[in-house]
A and B are shown apart, each in its own frame.
Chain A
Amino acid sequence: MGEEIDPIDIAEILYRRIPASQGWYDEATKVLNSAAFHPNRNDETGISIVRGKYKTPEQAAMGRSGKTYYLAVLKANELAERQINAVSRPDLPSGETDISHAELPGLNAGNRRSFEVAGMEEMLAQELTIEVLGPFVTPNKTS
């Protein structure tokens, strides 16, 4: 892998998109379940996040047509203080490019069941998420 293009600045705001369908965020209690940060088998190089400098919250929350999403808001400097690395990854596995796409490589498919990752997931949900935005509904596509 080459040199990181447009590295994430310490002052940046980052978003983690949370599908409402999973029940990971309870609006009534304001509790965010750490499953929102659990890597899945496809997160080979890390879980995805969106850089706030390139997208509005509404844009960052766009997902599947007709579905609803929340955004967990994170600060790059606070991640760094907890030794959670955030890196720019504009090249998507699909072959497309998205300058706003970034990842947390420390939480990935290979280590998703580890003791260390379970601790990081909880820290991200309970301590490092400064607020949860939304809900945002992705409009249905019109042909």
Chain B
Amino acid sequence: MTTLNITSSIHNYKSKVDLKVDSQGILSLEKINPKAWQEIIDKLVGWQWDIEQLDDEGVTPPSEGIVQIAIGLAERLDEEGYVAPSSVVPDGDGGVVFTHRNGDIIKKIHLWDDGSICLSEYESTSLIRRTNLSLI
């Protein structure tokens, strides 16, 4: 598997708006993600302050170190102008998942419990590509 510079790997996240054609053929601009990165970062900081909120039956919460990496990743993507994800959730196995939804296209940045990161791209629930990422 290839490890790529994260900046080039998630180039598509840079679009702040998406071109959309409706059934009458009218072209419009659609805001693809109204959520701000600050909302995502605030949620991660909330976990950092009280990681026990994620403790539950059958799941392993992310460690403080993983949450710290997730915050750093979010700040980096924000600084570089990428559109904020629709959601950030723990993966139940010590990792964190950022999900970006745009119609049938779903992109997930998965920060695993060992600190490694991958980008998965789905079309209509079919996983079409997965790329390992590194923070350079």
Contacts and interface: CB of A to CB of B under 8 A. Distances in A.
Interface of A: 17, 19, 21-24, 26, 31, 33-35, 38-42, 48, 63-64, 67, 112-113, 115, 118-119, 122-123, 126-127
Contacts of A19: 56-59
B127 interface: yes
A122 B125 contact: yes
Contacts of A26: 87
Contacts of B93: 38-41, 112
Given A19-B57, A26-B87, A33 B99 contact: yes
Closest 9 CB pairs of A and B: A40-B93, A119-B127, A19-B56, A64-B57, A126-B125, A63-B57, A21-B56, A122-B125, A23-B89
B106 A40 contact: no
Interface string B103-136: 0001010001000000010100111001000000
Nearest to B90: A22
User: Considering residues A39, A42, A112, A122, which has the most beta carbons from chain B within 10 angstroms of its beta carbon?
Assistant: A122
Contacts of A115: 127, 130
Interface in B70-102: 86-87, 89-94, 97, 99, 101
A95 to B, nearest CB: 17
A19 B112 CA distance: 20
Contacts of B122: 119, 122
Contacts, number: 75
B60 interface: yes
Nearest to A64: B57
Given A33-B99, A64-B56, A123-B125, 9 more contacts: A19-B56, A22-B56, A22-B92, A31-B86, A35-B97, A40-B58, A42-B58, A63-B58, A122-B127
A106 to B, nearest CB: 15
A57 B58 CA distance: 18
A124 to B, nearest CB: 9
A6 B95 CA distance: 36
Contact of B92 (A40, A63, A67): A40
B53 interface: yes
Contacts of A23: 87, 89-90
Contacts of A126: 125
B53 A35 contact: no
25 contacts: A17-B58, A19-B58, A19-B59, A21-B55, A21-B56, A23-B89, A24-B89, A31-B101, A33-B87, A33-B97, A35-B89, A35-B90, A35-B91, A35-B92, A35-B97, A40-B94, A41-B60, A63-B56, A63-B58, A64-B57, A67-B57, A118-B127, A122-B122, A126-B125, A127-B125
